């Protein structure tokens, strides 16, 4: 998915209440516009610059910035800076996000250009709905 997702807090550690991923993004861009039926998603920027869309709002974030995407509200993020991006992404409750990223890794390092079609069933199996393309950067 254009980077590395390292699970720092597992659903197993929190009885399914939370999972946190330390994420290094090497490539510009990010996932398709989507929402989670049962989870909130949180983003904390450590390094690099990211554009995050939550509902109709778009935020250009830098290190130290934070964004919150409530469940059922469409959102997407994209690395916009040339250097590596580093952020923490949390899901509350955890759901099956760890398995989702394991399955996503099978696509290899590149995100398919038509990810909103190719991966729609995978996203749906993990409690998400794709509602649009990735953010343009």
Per-residue pLDDT of 41-93, as tens digits, reads 999 999 999 999 999 999 999 999 999 999 999 999 999 999 999 999 999 99
Q: Which residues pair with 19 in a beta bridge?
A: 91
Residue 122 maps to a domain? yes
- What is the radius of gyration, based on Cα positions, of the chain? 13
Question: Structurally, how many domains does the chain consist of?
Answer: 1
Nearest Cα neighbor of 75 from 30, 113, 105 is 30
In a domain, 121, yes or no: yes
Q: What is the CATH number of the domain that holds 100?
A: 2.60.120.10
**Three-state DSSP class for residue 122:** helix
pLDDT digits (tens, 9 = 90+) for 23-37: 999 889 988 899 999
């Amino acid at each position: 998915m254009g980077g590395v997702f390292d699970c720092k807090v597992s659903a197993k550690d929190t009885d399914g209440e939370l999972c946190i991923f330390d994420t290094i993004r090497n490539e510009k861009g990010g996932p398709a516009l989507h929402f989670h039926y049962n989870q909130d998603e949180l983003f904390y920027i450590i390094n690099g610059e990211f554009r995050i869309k939550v509902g109709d709002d778009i935020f250009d974030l830098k290190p130290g910035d934070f964004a919150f995407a409530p469940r059922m509200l469409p959102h997407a993020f994209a690395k916009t800076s040339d250097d590596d991006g580093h952020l923490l992404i949390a899901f509350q409750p955890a759901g099956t996000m760890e398995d989702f990223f394991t399955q996503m890794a099978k696509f290899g390092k590149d995100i398919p250009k038509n990810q909103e079609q190719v991966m729609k069933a995978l996203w749906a199996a993990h409690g998400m709905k794709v509602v649009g393309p990735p953010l343009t950067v």
